[in-house]
């Protein structure tokens, strides 16, 4: 990380006492650190401590009162290679999520063009509150990397989730990030995500529970590592803003197929993460189907195109095509069969039997199966960590291919 510019945003939680260690470790790793503190953070650790360790005056006000010197959050935002907010209190996370720019840390965050890491730290009940969960989800949707808090004893003496990750691990997360950052530079990646909606009539559709979280996490990870990503997304409640990600919104399997065929020839890697509906109504009624008193209507279905298999047929040497399989039984046998039928290089298997895996969750537990029958199991992780594992796997097979 030598020479990297790091903005370290410190907010007012008891874990701020650990930031002295974090600054020391970052300086030892050869980085330049600019500490930005919220007014409350200064109640927990003195600016003098952090400016001495970082070898730079700490910034916490918009300007220095005695000299009238203005601190430009815009310049700071441009200077940084990365911004780390640690500890990130519930209040700071909420302000970051909603753009409440009432201190230097938040204005700097809103101006920052660089990747942003957030290390939450708070008591277990604050951590578990739906508003915190929703705000963290918003930060993820803006592209922030969440350094998950650990579970353990908290300042309140209660035991639970909310301890800021240890400074050594925060440094490790940054080192990993910089080490892998450019390994997909110049590569084009096509990703499908979310469900498809197959219209029955103007107000109804056949759909499924896919949230799109896994596909969006993959798009974020590939883009962070330098790839140009085309994300073909079914209808989801997520958004992604990244200069390397081009989102193509589609609704039905046929629209998804058309978008994928348009982009596949030009792609180095394609990851089929969408939960595509297998069947669509044979016809979409032009007006809303009325409720009949006597009998229920029968829906006639037709088979949807298999997007992964269609791309598999057109796959050229050097292209990597990956699929997902969500199985309820005979997982390995069924998934292996899909690799062959769809001409995939590998498949990511998640089993509905594993708690925390599959649809709508923020975590996933995957097993990767390759075309020659090798099986790679992974532990339960946040979907961002799973995306990291999948992209690492792809980078490794690209080295061999």
Catalytic residues: 208
Give least dist CB 64 to ligand C5P, A.
55
Shorter beta-carbon distance to ligand C5P: residue 149 or 358: 358
Tokens of 250: 């589609």
Q: Which residues 197-256 are close enough to bind ligand C5P by CB under 6 A?
A: 253
Shorter beta-carbon distance to ligand C5P: residue 35 or 275: 275
User: Judged by CB under 6 A, which stretch of 38-46, 219-227, 238-246, 304-312 contacts ligand C5P?
Assistant: 304-312
Tokens of 390: 């999948």
Give least dist CB 236 to ligand C5P, A.
14
Size of the site for ligand C5P (CB under 6 A): 14
Contacts of 369 (CB under 8 A, 6+ apart): 332, 335, 336, 339, 346, 347, 349, 375, 376
Q: Is 272 in the site for ligand C5P (CB under 6 A)?
A: yes
Window 274-293: contact mask with ligand C5P (x via CB under 6 A):
x-x-x---------------
Q: Is 259 in the site for ligand C5P (CB under 6 A)?
A: no
Shorter beta-carbon distance to ligand C5P: residue 205 or 324: 324
Helix (H) or strand (E) holding 83: strand 82-88
User: Judged by CB under 6 A, which stretch of 67-75, 229-237, 241-249, 302-310 contacts ligand C5P?
Assistant: 302-310
Shorter beta-carbon distance to ligand C5P: residue 136 or 274: 274
User: Judged by CB under 6 A, which stretch of 118-126, 165-173, 269-277, 356-364 contacts ligand C5P?
Assistant: 269-277
Q: Is 323 in the site for ligand C5P (CB under 6 A)?
A: yes
Environment class of 155 (CB within 10 Å of its CB; exposed 0-12, middle 13-18, buried 19+): middle
Q: Are 132 and 64 in contact (CB under 8 A)?
A: no
Q: Is 338 in the site for ligand C5P (CB under 6 A)?
A: yes
User: Judged by CB under 6 A, which stretch of 78-86, 88-96, 115-123, 271-279 contacts ligand C5P?
Assistant: 271-279
Q: Cα 98 vs. chain centroid, distance in angstroms?
A: 19
| From candidates 34, 92, 252, 304, binder to ligand C5P by CB under 6 A | 304
Q: What is the DSSP letter of 112?
A: -
Window 147-186: contact mask with ligand C5P (x via CB under 6 A):
----------------------------------------
Q: Is 307 in the site for ligand C5P (CB under 6 A)?
A: yes
Q: Are 10 and 53 in contact (CB under 8 A)?
A: no
Q: Is 324 in the site for ligand C5P (CB under 6 A)?
A: yes
Of 209, 228, 306, the closest CA to residue 267 belongs to 228
Q: Are 274 and 195 in contact (CB under 8 A)?
A: yes
| From candidates 58, 200, 227, 308, binder to ligand C5P by CB under 6 A | 308
| From candidates 26, 191, 206, 325, binder to ligand C5P by CB under 6 A | 325
Q: How far apart are CA 128 and CA 131, in angstroms?
A: 8
Q: Is 306 in the site for ligand C5P (CB under 6 A)?
A: yes
Shorter beta-carbon distance to ligand C5P: residue 174 or 191: 191
How would you classify the pairing of strands 301-303 and 279-281? antiparallel
Q: What is the DSSP letter of 154?
A: -
Q: Cα 323 vs. chain centroid, distance in angstroms?
A: 19
Q: How far apart are CA 242 and CA 236, in angstroms?
A: 17
- Residue that has been written with the tokens 């490790």 in this structure: 172
Give least dist CB 187 to ligand C5P, A.
20
Shorter beta-carbon distance to ligand C5P: residue 86 or 270: 270
Give least dist CB 245 to ligand C5P, A.
19
Q: How far apart are CA 140 and CA 118, in angstroms?
A: 10
Tokens of 92: 């700071």
**DSSP string across 174-243:** HHHHHHHTTTTTT-EEEEEESB--EEEETTEEE-----SHHHHHHHHHHHHTT-EEEEEE-S-S-----T
Question: Applying CB under 6 A, which residues contact ligand C5P?
Answer: 192, 253, 272, 274, 276, 278, 304, 306-308, 323-325, 338
């Amino acid at each position: 990380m030598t020479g990297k510019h790091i903005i370290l945003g410190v907010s007012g939680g008891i874990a701020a006492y650990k930031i002295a260690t974090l600054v020391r470790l970052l300086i030892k790793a050869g980085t330049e650190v600019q500490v930005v503190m919220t007014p409350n953070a200064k109640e927990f650790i003195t600016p003098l401590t952090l400016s001495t360790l970082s070898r730079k005056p700490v910034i916490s006000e918009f300007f220095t009162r005695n000299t009238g010197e203005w601190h430009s959050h815009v310049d700071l935002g441009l200077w940084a290679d990365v911004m780390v907010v640690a500890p990130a209190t519930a209040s700071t996370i909420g302000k970051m999520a909603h753009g409440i720019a009432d201190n230097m840390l938040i204005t700097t965050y809103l101006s920052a063009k660089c990747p942003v890491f957030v290390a939450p730290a708070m008591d277990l009940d604050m951590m578990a509150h739906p508003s915190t969960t929703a705000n963290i989800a918003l930060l993820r949707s803006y592209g922030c990397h969440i350094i998950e808090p650990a579970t353990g004893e908290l300042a309140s003496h209660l035991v639970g989730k909310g301890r800021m990750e240890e400074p050594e691990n925060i440094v490790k997360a940054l080192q990993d990030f910089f080490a892998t950052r450019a390994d997909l530079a110049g590569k084009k990646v096509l990703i499908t995500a979310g469900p498809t909606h197959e219209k029955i009539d103007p107000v109804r559709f056949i759909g499924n529970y896919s949230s799109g979280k896994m596909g969006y996490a993959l798009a974020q990870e590939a883009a962070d590592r330098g790839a140009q990503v085309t994300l073909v997304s079914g209808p989801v409640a997520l958004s992604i803003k990244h200069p390397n990600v081009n989102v193509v919104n589609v609704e039905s399997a046929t629209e998804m197929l058309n978008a994928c065929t348009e982009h596949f020839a030009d792609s180095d890697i394609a990851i089929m993460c969408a939960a595509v509906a297998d069947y669509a109504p044979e016809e979409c009624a032009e007006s809303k189907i009325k409720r009949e008193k006597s009998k229920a209507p029968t829906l006639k279905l037709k088979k949807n195109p298999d997007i992964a298999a269609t791309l598999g047929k057109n796959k050229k040497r050097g292209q990597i095509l990956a699929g997902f399989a969500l199985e309820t039984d005979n997982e390995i046998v069924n998934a292996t069969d899909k690799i062959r039928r769809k001409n995939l290089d590998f498949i990511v298997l998640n089993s509905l039997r594993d708690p925390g895996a599959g649809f709508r969750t923020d975590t996933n537990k995957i097993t990767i199966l390759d075309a020659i029958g090798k099986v790679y199991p992974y532990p339960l992780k946040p979907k961002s960590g799973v995306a990291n594992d999948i992209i690492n796997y792809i980078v490794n097979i690209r080295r061999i291919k």
